Amino acid sequence: MGNGTSIGRVRGLGSAHSGAHHWLIQRFTAIGNLFLGGWLLFSLLGLPNYSYITMHDWLAHPLPATLAGLLVLCTVWHARLGMQVLVEDYVHDAGLKFASFAALNLAAFGAGAFGLVCAIRLALGGA
Amino acid sequence: MASAGVSRPKRPLSPHLQIWRWGPAMAVSILHRVTGNGLAVVGIATLLCWLGSLAGGPDSYALFQAQAGTWYGQVVLVGLSWAFFNHAASGIRHFLLDIGAGFELVANARWSVLTPLIAILATAACWAAVWLR
């Protein structure tokens, strides 16, 4: 381990032991998105029309409401991991990178919470 | 050797888009990133608008439906469905590459060309089913 070039400073330190985790979760959520996105697609194609009554009656059932909540959580998690890679690749300033990750995490939690509350409200008859 | 704090000459960076000759695998990789991040921002925003307008009641859903029915609303929805199919198709291609399949030059180029075509066909079929019923 030297203090010269950037590769020289990390050489010999060994693995960070955290690289595969992000990659694996990206795959797990991708599988979830394939099933849940497919469910949304075929459900929408199967509905007779897109009026409020039709949409609401469909989503107010427990299973569609649960799947809609899962769809939001799974896509938001997948999107959060994917956009992290975008920031890592294109944002090189340390402060701006930290701010981007902070904003990304807040947006992901906000989006997930909003989607869940909507699905629960539809299922429990608040709307 | 330069010590810490002393400015070093700029090290060469790894080559980026302007260096490589364009090919199908490169194009499908860039499309995967573009559609993925487009879906992450516009797709999830639209999904939440739709779900939120339904949870808000008939009035807010009527507002969503009116916007979705305009020409720009339809452009966004068709664009999002294309992005979904494209990202899903190249995502499935990634799963196959993950198990070590499809790295031979001919097979790799073939599936790189086919994934965006499959996405365009799926998008066309999907909207034909919606508009022609």
A112 → chain B, closest CA residue: B48
User: Is there a contact between A30 and B52 if contact means CB atoms under 8 Å apart?
Assistant: no
pTM of the predicted model as reported, rounded to 2 decimal places: 0.89
Q: Which of B11, B61, B98 sits opposite A52 (nearest CB)?
A: B61
How near does any CA of chain B get to the CA of A14, in Å? Answer: 22
Residue B49 in any domain: the answer is yes
CB pairs under 8 A between A and B: 81
Average pLDDT across chain B, whole number:
91
Residue B99 to residues A24, A92, A104, B103, Cα–Cα distance (Å): 13, 32, 31, 10
B40 touches chain A (CB under 8 A): yes
Test the A interface: residue of B7, B32, B47 with most A CBs within 10 Å: B47
Residue by residue, DSSP assigns B32-94 as HHHHHHHIIIIIHHHHHHHHHHHHH-HHHHHHHHHHHHSHHHHHHHHHHHHHHHHHHHHHHHH
Is the residue at B72 inside a domain?
yes
Q: What is the CATH number of the domain that holds B90?
A: 1.20.1300.10
pLDDT digits (tens, 9 = 90+) for A59-117: 999 999 999 999 999 999 999 999 999 999 999 999 999 999 999 999 999 999 999 99
Chain A interface mutation, best of B48, B54, B81, B126, highest count of A Cβ atoms under 10 Å = B54
pLDDT in tens, B53-92: 999 999 999 999 999 999 999 999 999 999 999 999 999 9
- A12 has a pLDDT exceeding 80: yes
- Exposed/middle/buried for A86, CB within 10 Å: 0-12, 13-18, 19+? middle
Residue B33 is assigned to a structural domain of this protein: yes
A30/B61 CB distance under 8 A: no
Axis-axis angle for helices B71-98, B44-56 (nearest 10) = 120
The total domain count for chain B is 1
Domains, chain A, in order of start with CATH, read 19-123 (1.20.1300.10)
pLDDT of residue A71: 98
Residue of A118, A121, A122 to mutate, interface with B, max B Cβ within 10 Å? A118
For residue B13, pLDDT beyond 80: no
Confidence of residue A7 (pLDDT cuts 50, 70, 90): confident
Q: What are the tokens at B13?
A: 């960076």
- Residue B43 belongs to what domain range? 24-131
